[in-house]
Amino acid sequence: MPNSVLQPVRRRRRSRAKRPVLLVAVALLAAAGAFAATQHWASAHGKPRHRNQSATLTPKLVSAKSLAELRAAASEQQVATRAPFAAGTRLLLPAAPKLQHAGLRRITAPAAILVNASTGAILWTKRPHQRRPIASTTKIMTGVLALEHLPLTKVIRVNPLVTRVALNREGLRAHERVAVWKLMEGLLLFSGNDDALQLAISTAGSRGAFLQLMNEKASELGLRDTHYTSPSGVVDRGNYSSAYDLAALARYAMAIPRFRAFTRTHIAHVKWAKPTYAKTYVNKNQLIGTYRGADGVKTGWTTIAGHCLVASARRGRTRLIAVVLHAPDPYGDARRLLNLGFANS
């Protein structure tokens, strides 16, 4: 009977069981060929064959003491490569101020100093070693330590404690992620106490550890009239320095290019993550943009400390630093001191 179009046709099934076996065999042959070619190339170029490489790849155990020493050495090397002066360098020279009797108009500040930052020479003084509260000029040390220990591009998460710091703060939000360089803008231009605390925690792990680091650095730089109890200067009790020590610290700080780049900025427009989107920092140092050559350093004020100003200006190859503490007329005092220095340089 002939096949009808409605009659089902039985198709012969092709065996697929052998396909995976064939594919595996081909892969093995290709791998063997590649390995043989590699060994041939290594022999041709004089590279020894290693049949057992487990011995050479096994890592050697390092003791905890050795690991700590390696980390300490790496940290010291990192700081040394950024340090503007060799360890033990005297930041201010112990010579008599050569402009002490130059007929300077009255300085209103009870403690002040003028130094040549290019040479370290002291030019004029008024109670230079008198220990006084220094308000936000404390942030000079905070900025120096942050630059020496933190990469500017590092992004950190804001600690909730930072948002509750007293008085002047820029408004950091808990857990937001912020680059270190943005915190430095807020620290040195806006003078944010929240920026200071966050940089302290990010640098040393805690506020207490950072205070220890600050005082160790002060001792290392020979700042004998200085003691820190705050990374921002918002607390006056036990937080003090002198005009002499602040001038020495400012000379050290202004020798760091990145520090100068921040303090000489008049206005900074900074992009920010939503919902903030952008911030504008205006330098509180009124000499920036109004006094020729002014490029730093830091202002400060509290009820107890009064108006404090560490001012820096450069003209030609001469850089001068003037410090006035508890000054009724801080900018007038600073201008008179700087003018005296430049007129006799």
| Both tokens assigned to 270 | 């900074």
Residue 219: Cβ within 10 Å count: 12
**Residue numbers annotated as active site:** 136, 139, 191
Residue for token pair 């220094």: 134
The residue ranges of DSSP E strands in the chain, in sequence order, are 111-116, 121-126, 132-133, 155-157, 177-179, 240-241, 267-271, 278-282, 294-302, 306-315, 318-325
| Residue 345 DSSP symbol | -
Please, are residues 111 and 126 in contact by the beta-carbon 8 Å criterion? Answer: yes
| Both tokens assigned to 177 | 């992620």
What backbone torsions phi and psi does residue 67 show, to the nearest 5 degrees?
Answer: -65, -40
Residues sharing a CB contact under 8 Å with residue 197, sequence separation 6 or more, in sequence order: 159, 161, 162, 165, 207, 231, 232
Q: Quick one: which of 229, 126, 246, 139 has its CA closest to 184?
A: 139
- Measure the CA–CA gap between 190 and 36, rounded to whole angstroms: 67
Residues sharing a CB contact under 8 Å with residue 325, sequence separation 6 or more, in sequence order: 109, 110, 111, 112, 130, 132, 134, 242, 243, 246, 305, 306, 308
Q: Quick one: which of 94, 194, 227, 213 has its CA closest to 146?
A: 213
Please, are residues 330 and 246 in contact by the beta-carbon 8 Å criterion? Answer: no
Q: Quick one: which of 212, 181, 216 has its CA closest to 199?
A: 181
